[in-house]
Structure 1
């Protein structure tokens, strides 16, 4: 056997498993990074959803108050108009 054949056998026996192991570790690190990024994005999305829910609740409360003001004042306004009609202009 010549030197090149021995080098090729050594490369196949030692080099390919080492390169494969390094590639596998790099792949695992990449997956962990992607998982961390996904978790961070998920937490950020959940926080924004909570903020939107709180804002929606505040707006709904304001609309309820406005509806109550309109409906309550609407009844009072109708009574005021009726009273003005019944009152003589003299």
Structure 2
């Protein structure tokens, strides 16, 4: 969720904490909705006869993405943590 930084910084620290907590809760809820929507969409596509390809050689995909990941890691703070979390997903 995005909001004006100037506005956010003008809030007292207790209200900043409330906004952060609400944003975290909303993001978690959105993740659940997205997962449900993705599953429903895949089911609908399969029912319509669409062939869904699920990559089986994850290591090959990770290797192919390595140059891009290195580029984003070089951008610094935030990206390394994000990439590590993404790669940890099985």
- In terms of fraction of residues, the more helix-rich structure is 1
Q: Report the TM-score range of the alignment, normalised by the length of the smaller protein.
A: 0.3 to 0.5
Q: TM-score scaled to structure 1, two decimals?
A: 0.42
